[in-house]
Structure 1
Amino acid sequence: MSTETQEKPIISVNDVDEELAEKYKSEANEYFKKQDFDTAIDLYTKAIAANPNVCIYYANRSFAYLKIECFGYALHDASRSVELDKSYVKGFYRRAAANMALGKWKEALKDYEFVTKMRPNDKDAKLKYNECNKIVKKIAFEKAISTEDNRKNIADSINLDAMTIEHEYEGPKLENGKVTLKFMKELMELYKNQGKLHRKFAYKILLDIKTYFMAQPSLVDVSIADDNKFTVCGDIHGQFFDLMNVFELNGLPSETNPYLFNGDFVDRGSFSVECIFTLFGFKLLFPNHFYMSRGNHESATMNQMYGFDGEVKSKYTAQMADLFTEVYNWLPLAHCLNKRVLVMHGGLFSRDDVTLDEIRKIDRNRQPPEDGPMCELLWSDPQPQDGRAPSKRGVGCQFGPDVTKTFLDLNKLDYVIRSHEVKNDGYEVAHDGKCITVFSAPNYCDTMGNKGAFITLKGQDMIPKYTTYEAVPHPNVKPMAYANSLLSLMC
């Protein structure tokens, strides 16, 4: 995939090849229709190289970047398109979408406002403007009433005793308030049949898991015995039936079959509630043999945009959605396996002097900041060339093999495992084998055609082994079914 974002200055018509540029654009459009976004981006880039003066080439490439979640690049291209033509409405649409994806609601609102003025009869533009305006006002209101002293703690307001279990409820029940293996097996069967866990048990799991995570450090040290197998899974993204397939292939979690799930459990896939309660249940059942790292999608902004917030409100309550936000704030940010391998969702840092001790001391009980080590653990990505670059996502940074080597040498580690990016084979080994990506959601969003993968290793040598798998069928509920309506322009 092309990562070029610095374009040539506008040049005279005598030096452009308009015919060649149009040819590349037409080819790119065909690959875009086939959802081969990387190839489309390369071809749009060639069109821009042949004729850098055409706003539509940048807007189209911006749309392709949106599809692969390179929001920083998408924002750059959309801005370039409106620089070339200040009346090009589609460019403003694209820029609004990129700003929304980055949680920059005010900037998005300005662009929607421009579009509604340019197209006063466009009902879709008016709808998006109104929706975005609601979000901006809601954020402003919450900020106005919120202080350190009066911020509500949702967990303290939950009254489990007041929740009645109806006689007709036939689903799994906690035993003396505790998760058991029997409960977990019944829960997974319930979810496979599209049933719903009773709200009293769902709230109890959330309250217990919050209490547990609050006692954990930001960096969790994990010991793996020489002959023991340990499994690392990447993004699940609400694909419950693919999660069940992982357990079919690799066995259920247990004290002899430990797992680490490396963030982005929810959003996009429309069975996120089922995924997160399954994972939280196993965490409570096997607290010392089942681990979970926070991903960039375990945050309020991502959940409001990409479906989890809407799904929880649909299946339970708005109060529960707020409680999930509290719980996610306490998820550990990274895990260190046998003092040799660091596992985090995103990647490494914009500084060379970050140590494991610094990660341990991060105050993580908050929404992800826009920069610094916590942000980078959740958002950063590797790049093939040495050095660092601004993130293609617009958050975090991109880091090269030299950055990885310096970090590993400083902290006496062998390699890092991270997730966060779709890979065709479900995994990718980069940086001379020192930076491994694992992604466990096959055919991501029912469109990408990628395999999923998980990593297994043994304590004695910590050598990673890869298992890949295809997507399995799921009930006819489309991805993003609960996503914010504003995202319709990105889908």
Structure 2
Amino acid sequence: MTDSEDALSLKQKGNQAFKDHDWLNSVHFYTKAIEANDQDPSFYANRAQANIKLEAYGYAIADATKAIELDGSYVKAYWRRAIANTAILNSREALKDFKVVIRKEPSNKDAKLKLAECEKIVKRVEFLRAIEIGDPPSAFEGLDIDSVPVEPSYDGLKLGTEMTSDFIDDMITRFKNGKKLHKKYVYQIVAAVKNIVYEEPTMVEMDVKEGHKLTVCGDTHGQFFDLLEIFRLNGFPSESQYYLFNGDFVDRGSWSTEIALLLYAYKWLRPNAFFLNRGNHETDDMNRVYGFEGECKAKYSERVFKLFSESFSALPLATLIGKKFFTLHGGLFSDDKTTLDDVRKLNRHQQRQPGQQGLMMEMLWTDPQTAPGRGPSKRGVGLQFGPDVTKRFCEKNGLDAVIRSHEVRMEGYEVEHDGRCITVFSAPKYCDSTENRGAYINIGPELKLEYHQFDAVPHPDIKPMAYAQSSLMQMM
């Protein structure tokens, strides 16, 4: 078999893996095909599409760019680069490529639609920047929750001045049946939790007492019924069953308001036994594109989104468990000099959104890599850090390991960097398209990690990204 024939055979294996939703193996086979023949643009374009599925948008942009270098008329490559740039909110670059697609395929109605949507996004971003002010007024300003009436027709349990287990049980039943909470109760829950988490340190420090258990969960991404499966398997939150949700509660999945409200209700009920870290999807830019803003508006109101946004910006960025496990959504830092003390001193209230650089951005966005040192992010945002970086950070700060989330893992979790970097992801069958399991980690007083896997459960027939700002996102 010639190199060319071998490469085509590998491409076909990659195509089959892609059809089977095995994105990692599809990337593997396309990479092997490129190694056998690095002059075929389709190999790069196909790998770009698989990388989009893996949310490795930086890699996807690089692959699509290479395909275009090899064949400047390759429309699919422009299309995929546009989709990847849209995913990392780089809409101006996406706009250029959508225009190329239409120029090369003037009758492509889908491309015209995407171009129009992309133009709307660019205009909105420019408008929001134009009206930006240094200190925006609080979304809670002028909101008199006590005066909001609850109509006699409301058929749910009433909420007083404190959260109760009965109210949460009724809330879960309502959400399972496709019902909403009354807006007054939404206001109460978000306001109460915003006040609680605002007073918590940027890095919460907690221990697991005798007779207690802490469960660390990764991304749940609006997959409400899978969240309930965690509670069914592992036990509902209680005074002895602690939980830590490590960011990305919302976006993508179409029950993000239900997850956010349920997690917030438990935080209000048990503020010292239920913990929440902020993720990169608890940010305005991501919420506007990936569905949470649209979902809030569709199910409640724009004001509810603004209230959530303000509460998200108050969330802690990390949790230190038993002085041994540094738990945060993304990962480690661009500078080896950064320590836990720097995290402790970080005033997250001065900067509501993470921006493009700095400790907050790195804590929300970075990813591990197998190679030593640091490298550019496969996402196109942040950076990647190697096992040597993790080792130095753990040794300097007296840690056993870093626990993080932020990335799909096919088995629900992965232990990397010689056991010092652990990824946990709790959204099985992510976006209804990735054949991954979910996982959570149990930690007792002895600080041993116990990994538990679980599978997705059925949910009502509402597709992921149902509330996304643009059908561009549904192309993912």
Asked if TM exceeds 0.5, the reply is yes
User: 3-state SS of the aligned residue for 1:156?
Assistant: coil
Give the counterpart letter for 1:199 in structure 2: K
Which residue does the alignment assign to 2:5?
19
SS of structure 2 residue aligned to 1:405: helix
Cα deviation digits, residues 221-240 of structure 1 (max 9, x gap):
11222442111111111111
Q: Which residue number in structure 2 is paired with residue 479 of structure 1?
A: 464
2:199 to 215, 222, 235: 215
Whether 1:408 and 2:394 are equivalent positions in the alignment is yes
Measured after TM superposition, the shift of residue 489 of structure 1 is 6.3
How far off its partner does 1:304 sit? 2.1
Q: Distance in 1 between matches of 2:95 and 2:142?
A: 34
Q: Is residue 305 from structure 1 mapped to residue 285 from structure 2 by the alignment?
A: no
- Structure 1 window deviating more from structure 2 (246-255 vs 259-268): it is 246-255
Q: TM (normalized to structure 2)?
A: 0.95
Equivalent in 12, 18, 22 of residue 36 of structure 1: 22
Amino acid aligned to 1:264: D
Decide which of 203, 209, 214 is 2:187's aligned counterpart.
203
Q: Find the partner of 1:147 among 106, 127, 133.
A: 133
**2:329 pairs with 1:345:** yes
What's the CA shift string for 1:316-362, capped at 9, x where partnerless?
Answer: 11222222222211111100112221100111112111111111222
Aligned-partner SS, 2:375: strand
Partner of 2:63: 77
SS at structure 2 position matched to 1:329: helix
Look up the equivalent residue of 2:343 and give its one-letter code.
I
Q: CA deviation at 1:488?
A: 5.2
* Residue identity matched to 1:160: I
Is the contact between residue 218 and residue 334 of structure 1 (CA under 8 Å) also seen in structure 2? yes
Deviation at 1:270, TM superposition (A): 1.1
Residue of structure 2 aligned with 1:320, choices 295, 304, 328: 304
**Counterpart position of 1:437:** 423
Say whether residues 1:126 and 2:101 are aligned partners: no
Matches within 5 A, 1:269-280: 269-280=253-264
Q: Which AA in structure 2 matches 1:420?
A: H
Give the number of aligned pairs: 473
1:49 equivalent in alignment to 2:43:
no
Q: How far apart are the structure 1 equivalents of 2:197 and 2:101?
A: 45
Aligned in 2, Cα 1:71/1:304: closer, same or farther, shift over 3 Å?
same
CA distance in 2, matches of 1:466, 1:56: 40
Q: Identity over aligned residues, as a percent?
A: 49
Task: Verify the 8 A CA contact 2:408 2:425 in the aligned structure 1.
Answer: yes
Q: Please say if 1:183 is aligned against 2:167.
A: yes
TM-superposition CA deviations, 1:132-154 (whole Å, max 9, x none): 111111111121122215x3422
Say whether residues 1:390 and 2:376 are aligned partners.
yes
Q: Would the alpha carbon gap of residues 59 and 158 (structure 1) be closer, same or farther in structure 2, given more than 3 Å must change?
A: farther
1:108 maps to amino acid: A
> Displacement, 1:120?
2.6
Please give the alpha-carbon distance, in whole angstroms, between the structure 2 residues aligned to 1:352 and 1:288.
32
**Distance of 1:226 and 1:408 partners within structure 2:** 25
Whether the aligned pair in 1 keeps the contact of 2:290 and 2:473 (CA below 8 Å) is no
Cα 1:418–1:488, aligned 2, differ >3 Å: closer, same or farther? closer
* Counterpart residue number, 1:9: none
In the aligned structure 1, how far is the partner of 2:266 from the partner of 2:425?
20
Gaps of 5+ in 1: 1-15
Distance 2:37 2:418 in 1: 37
Aligned to 1:445, the other structure's residue is in SS state helix
Match of 2:248 among 241, 251, 264: 264
The CA deviation at 1:49 is 1.9
Q: Is the 8 A contact 1:58 1:78 kept in 2?
A: yes
Letter in 2 for 1:110: K
Distance in 2 separating the partners of 1:86 and 1:250: 53
The one-letter code matched in structure 2 to 1:317 is S
Residue pair 1:66, 1:490 contacting (<8 A) in 2 also: no
Q: Report the Cα offset of residue 467 of structure 1.
A: 1.6
Does the aligned pair in 1 maintain the 2:22–2:435 contact within 8 Å? no
**Counterpart amino acid of residue 108 in structure 2:** D
Map of 2:272 onto structure 1: 288
* Poorly superposed stretches of 4+, deviation over 3 Å: none
- The alignment partner of 1:154 has SS state of coil
Q: Which amino acid aligns with 2:294?
A: G
User: Cα distance, 1:276 vs. partner?
Assistant: 0.6
Confirm whether residue 465 of structure 1 aligns to residue 445 of structure 2. no
Q: Is the 8 A contact 1:347 1:379 kept in 2?
A: yes
| 2: CA distance, partners of 1:133 / 1:152 | 29
Comparing 232-241 with 319-328, greater Cα deviation is found at 319-328
Could you tell me how far apart the structure 2 residues matched to 1:133 and 1:408 are?
A: 45
SS in 2 for 1:107: helix
Cα distance in structure 2, aligned partners of 1:252 and 1:181: 11
Distance of aligned partners of 1:200 and 1:357 in 2 relative to their CA distance in 1, 3 Å threshold: same
8 Å contact kept, 2:465–2:474:
no
- CA–CA distance in structure 2, aligned partners of residues 396 and 24 of structure 1: 32
Q: What does the per-residue CA deviation read over 1:138-171, in whole Å, with 9 as the maximum and x for residues that have no partner?
A: 111121122215x342221434245331211111
- SS of the counterpart of 1:284? helix
CA contact (8 A) 1:417 1:438 kept: yes
Shift of 1:202: 0.5
* 1-structure distance, mates of 2:147, 2:78: 50
Supply the distance in 2 between the matched residues of 1:434 and 1:145 (Cα, whole angstroms).
44
Q: Quote how far apart the aligned CAs of 1:289 are.
A: 0.7
* Kept after mapping to 1: 8 A contact 2:211/2:240: no
- In structure 2, the residue matched to 1:65 is 51
2:44–2:63: 8 Å Cα contact kept in structure 1?
yes
2:272 corresponds to which letter in structure 1? N
Aligned to 1:13: none
Q: Aligned partners of 2:344, 2:143: CA distance in 1, in Å? A: 30
Q: How big is each residue's C-alpha offset from its partner over 1:343-393, in whole Å with a ceiling of 9 and x where there is no partner?
A: 001111121111111112223342222233211211112223322221211
Which residue of structure 1 aligns with residue 438 of structure 2? 452
1:362 and 2:360 matched: no
**What is the RMSD of the two structures over their aligned residues, measured on CA atoms?**
1.7
Structure 2 Cα separation of the partners of residues 160 and 124 of structure 1:
45
The residue type paired with residue 217 of structure 1 is P
Q: Structure 1: which amino acid aligns with 2:158? A: K
Secondary structure, counterpart of 1:432 in structure 2: helix
**Structure 2: segments with no counterpart, 5+ residues:** none
Which of 72, 93, 97 aligns to 1:107? It is 93
Give distance in 2, aligned partners of 1:400 and 1:215.
34
Query: C-alpha separation between the residues in 2 aligned to 1:302 and 1:158?
Result: 26
